[in-house]
Chain A
Amino acid sequence: MNWALAIPEIVLSVCGMGILIVGVLRRQDSTFLCSMLTLGAFLLAAILSVSTVQGIGYHGQFVIDPFSGFVKLLIIAGAALCLILALDYNRKQRISRFEFPVLMLFSVVGMMVMASASNLMTLYLGLELQSLALYVLAAFARDDVRSSEAGLKYFVLSALATGLLLYGISLVYGFAGTMDFAQIARAASDPVHVSPGLVVGIVFVLVGLAFKISAVPFHMWTPDVYEGAPTPVTLFFGTSPKVAAIAVMVRVMVHPFGHLTDQWHTLIVIVSIASMIWGAVAAIGQANIKRMMAFSAIGHMGYALIGLAAGTAVGIRGLLVYMVIYVFMTAGAFACITAMRRNGRSVEMISDLNGLARNDPALAGAMAVAMFSLAGIPILSGFFAKLYIFLAAVQAGMWTLAIIGVLTSVVGAFYYLRVIKVMYFDAPAEQFDARSPSLTFVAAVTTLFTTFFFLFPAPVVGAAQAAAQALFG
């Protein structure tokens, strides 16, 4: 049964429970200690997930392959960046509690389970574990009305999406007779005689997962939740859960439903186009930078889905590279948003950035790099992300998607460049409070990655290539 396959998850969960005990038993405030322990646990899990043997275990419920390894590393990296940012933010907002890192850790366990799912039940439980922790994290600033609202809103809508997903799973189970990915693939191997019930099931599964990556038309929760949640949690929403959800979507579509490409392909194309367009257009009118980032996330998910729509190994490689780059540039942008504090209070209007370049050139530089990269300006990493995706689309002969992608990139560049214009050309506003070292660290790491990705793309692209091959192989 090879239980050793799940060692990273097991170790991480045990660490989580240990940290919980440490936090409860220590009399004084143990948030810092618990956060550091959690970071250590993340590091340990990352090392373990690189080094575990590959194969399928637990009666076919759990799989370790290059794809899951790649996704897990990215999930852990994203979560670690968020945790570092949260350390200082939570203290200043007086919501510093040791449960925060613990919840984040369990959420990561859920995402890792999702990445390794090779059975619909594993997928569902992983998804539940990560969502449940996210509901609480969104409402973590419980005395703040907006945060509570974000938590409740996310809870209700996400529960609905989970219900749809579960309905889809039950349909698939009913019509395929199994929940195991390999056996579903066998049951659905004849695209001509596939039962309509199975197709309906696939559509519902797709809808449930599209909600989690906030693709249009299942994106309604995103702006409100992004705005209301504490900023590091917003970043968390934007990185690891999206990576996990899109990874599981890719695995489900490519592996068990791989023979039914004709049935779900159009759906992915429509969702992708709608996300790109809505993400570009709706962001223009936003005054709140967290809301703007929400629409930006919607748009970027649209671009990433092009890789899945292409349906080839090259497309999946592009999608994985895109997610890596997206995680780092979003983290860079949010590091700067977290730094937006005035007189001990967090401010989040785009106009609050007025003339930042004169008050704090380093911060403005980091923000500018993040924005240019999100817009896809050449030599920054965001450009290469889009390049790999569009390349795959063109190779697969999907010119429409590629052209719409380029056009919406141009529209989207408008609101990213507006932020830069505000920072560099407007009259300076009052200075921000001094930023903390942890925040500077995150901003520096992500900015360096974003700027110099073009020099060393080989490790990331190579690993993504291996991951994509594993899925198709």
Chain B
Amino acid sequence: MIATIAFYVFAVVLLVAAAMVVSSRNPVHSVLFLILAFFNAAGLFLIAGAEFLAMILMIVYVGAVAVLFLFVVMMLDVNFAELRSGFQRYLPIGATIGAVLFIELVLVVGGWSIGPLSEGARFAPTPANVHNTAALGRLIYTDYVFLFQAAGLVLLVAMIGAIVLTLRERKSSRHQIIRLQNSRTVAETLEMVPVSLGANINTLGIYRPKVTEPEEVLADESDSEALLGHHGGGSGGAGAHHAPEVR
């Protein structure tokens, strides 16, 4: 009873959210609805007893993809209303393709026959007394461990490839050299100035941070200042950042 109610609640919210994803004018709202849809789909998976899939859906989609997508939408500033402007113009061809696909689908479903071995594969029972997370784990990490490791290698190669093609060593980049930063002593950077009692601080003159208007950040700031920062790398990140103000 409760499961049925929960199913209908999740299903209805899922459908409404999915409809809102495509119909909402504001892309940010679309993404938020998408996240809502993911949550409800996860709920449906839970009811179906596939708690592992539910967790994966939450962690992977809600956690990573949706947030990433939100970032993309916010940063790209795409004008979605403009994208939709061609809707009427492309409607006939779109409808034709849709109709063809639909007919294909009908034909495929009409001529459905199940292969001799797929019957067994389709109804492969979950091993008795084993949690379905554990059963999946056994499949991935024991039965298919070779493929799993091969997929890992594919990802490693992708990472190496991205680094090879894009990483450029810049002379002007400010590296933090922790060794130099740690070996910095007080004596190198600060000076003790003896101040006699009652002396006028103005005549002695000590360095104090200037109070100025914040400078506007220029695009090519990295060139001149970064060089300076690089040479003075020993004084560490914080010192380098304050350098322009002291100057």
Contacts and interface: CB of A to CB of B under 8 A. Distances in A.
B120 to A, nearest CB: 7
Interface stretch (A125-133, A226-234, A367-375): A125-133
| Interface size, A (range) | 35 or more
User: For A139, A175, A183, which residue has the most chain B Cβ atoms within 10 angstroms?
Assistant: A175
A132 B164 contact: no
Contacts of A139: 165
Interface string B147-158: 101110110111
Interface stretch (A58-66, A69-77, A209-217, A457-465): A58-66
Contacts of A55: none
Interface residues of B, number: 27
Interface stretch (B97-105, B111-119, B128-136, B173-181): B111-119
User: For A13, A97, A99, A177, which residue has the most chain B Cβ atoms within 10 angstroms?
Assistant: A177
Given A61-B144, A102-B160, A133-B161, A125 B119 contact: no
B143 interface: yes
A132 B146 contact: no
A140 B164 contact: yes
Nearest to B118: A177
Contacts of A109: 153
Interface string B161-174: 10111000000000
A74 B164 CA distance: 28
Contacts of A110: 153
Contacts of B187: none
A176 B115 contact: yes
B145 interface: yes
A136 B164 contact: yes
Given A175-B115, A177-B117, A195-B115, A136 B160 contact: yes
Given A59-B143, A125-B150, A176 B117 contact: yes
User: For A110, A136, A142, which residue has the most chain B Cβ atoms within 10 angstroms?
Assistant: A136
A280 to B, nearest CB: 36
Given A62-B146, A129-B150, A177 B116 contact: yes
A140 B151 CA distance: 23
A390 interface: no
A281 interface: no
A383 interface: no
Nearest to B148: A125
A58 B157 contact: no
B154 A183 contact: no
A178 interface: yes
A103 B150 contact: no
Given A99-B163, A129-B153, A61 B115 contact: no
Nearest to B117: A177
Nearest to A122: B147
B154 A125 contact: yes
Contact of B120 (A106, A174, A177): A177
Given A61-B146, A183-B117, A128 B160 contact: no
Contacts of A136: 157, 160-161, 164-165
A466 interface: no
Interface string A121-154: 1100110110011011001101000000001000
A113 B161 contact: no
A341 B116 CA distance: 61
Contacts of B151: 125
B49 to A, nearest CB: 24
Contacts of B146: 6, 58, 61-62, 122
A404 interface: no
16 contacts: A20-B160, A61-B144, A61-B147, A97-B164, A102-B160, A122-B146, A125-B150, A135-B161, A136-B164, A136-B165, A151-B165, A174-B115, A177-B117, A178-B118, A187-B117, A195-B115
Query: Which 4 pairs from chain A and chain B are nearest by CB?
Result: A177-B118, A177-B117, A136-B161, A177-B115
Given A132-B154, A187-B116, 4 more contacts: A61-B147, A62-B146, A106-B157, A125-B147
